[in-house]
Structure 1
């Protein structure tokens, strides 16, 4: 039995990924900052709940201890993430991006990912087929974001793309350090979720496709890569 933890899984892409992996036979822990929302989601899915705030060391440590006591972990999906939007739900543009805005995003999207990964590495390294999936973004691609006349190029914000570019670098460095673990970054696509005020053009079912696929990577599968549903992406 494959045991999987998905952070930020009480809704959106995390919830759909959990649903699909449970259907594929995984035992899934959904990580949720909010215990009540997490409990409702876990009941609906037939998943296990672990209260987990990726920005809090104590919370992450307690979650790792809980899952260790239950038997261990095979797959970690670092899905929890935030974007910077103003009160009108518009992306905070580069001109209005402050150090505080950057810090808030990096605390969840970058430092939170490292905090969780570091805490769960001992469990993953005991697995026979360990996998880490880091949910990145197409906006992380320096190649794509510098291509004129594209939607990626036209994205007005700085904080979110920068945080996800950092995620890609972290993915590569972890993959080099731990060649026994399949570690990849994925781009779900522009998916309608609370993250973007449900403005995305894809459904969560479409967005979760690449996350689910990479969560099921075999021990001889790719590692240190950056993918969307159609294949490898340019860095």
Structure 2
């Protein structure tokens, strides 16, 4: 696959630092004690990456991390509420103190799949809460973790989005979820342009309709949805696949 280019923008090239081996990489996955985030953590751990499994409920996070450690991965549970600035700051300070780096950030935490609502009658409190988690949570977590990547000139930021947030997506249901993911896509594109040439690759991934607690029954296996996210988290530096929206490793329209 060719690199994703930004039309009209001059290329800002820099000397690439050597890519760390998978066993040297540290990943943070938000919302990872169950569902898609749990499976992403599993697959990253299988690849040899040290995984910090972010969870709002520490007991649930530790239970999930123990399970993955029994399977042979290096997985540690870390308390993380992406809607809390204090929680995000504390975790950033902890990662800096214990590891001095962060190589992979998967903004997976998401909520408020309001399938029964419509734009004309949406509960605006739900819309605000969806934006707080799905957009602003990913935004502030990225801002806090970015310096740990910039320090080494290497990083992979993966925003877990949805095709229902694409500009050409049809449908009237899920207004809070749909709008929050559309906004996350916009943030992904802006951040990617800002970080072009920095050694930090930024992409959005739609895992498709996945059979999870939020997605419900009937979706594809969780492992299949997680695989595309892990692919984006482990991208090589060349070709620089950057600033794109993907499903199953194939680019889709914003």
Under a length normalisation based on structure 2, what TM-score does the superposition of the two structures give? 0.84
Deviation >6 Å, runs of 4+ = none
Alignment of 1:43-192 (within 5 A): 43-46=66-69, 47-71=75-99, 72-85=101-114, 90-143=115-168, 145=169, 153-154=170-171, 156-179=173-196, 180=198, 181-192=200-211
Q: Distance in 1 between matches of 2:113 and 2:205?
A: 20
Q: 1:141 to 1:17 in 2, by over 3 A?
A: same
Q: Which has the higher helix share?
A: 1
- The residue number in structure 1 matching 2:243 is 224
Match of 1:208 among 206, 226, 231: 226
**What secondary structure, in the 3-state scheme, does the structure 2 residue paired with 1:76 have?**
strand
More relative contact order in 1 or in 2 (CA 8 Å, sep 6+)? Answer: 2
Q: Cα offset for 1:178?
A: 1.2
Query: Deviation digits for residues 153-195 of structure 1, max 9, x if unmatched?
Result: 2452211111111111100111111121100000000001112
Alignment of 1:9-28 (within 5 A): 9-28=32-51
Paired residues, what number? Answer: 222
Q: Specify every segment of 5 or more residues in structure 2 that has no aligned partner in the other structure, as ranges.
A: 1-23, 70-74
**What secondary structure, in the 3-state scheme, does the structure 2 residue paired with 1:184 have?**
strand
Q: Specify every segment of 5 or more residues in structure 1 that has no aligned partner in the other structure, as ranges.
A: 146-152
Q: 1:92 to 1:24 in 2, by over 3 A?
A: same
Q: Cα offset for 1:200?
A: 4.4
Q: Distance in 2 between matches of 1:212 and 1:128?
A: 20
Q: Cα offset for 1:111?
A: 0.6
Q: Distance in 2 between matches of 1:75 and 1:230?
A: 17
Equivalent residues of 1:73, 1:124 under 8 A apart: yes
**What secondary structure, in the 3-state scheme, does the structure 2 residue paired with 1:104 have?**
helix
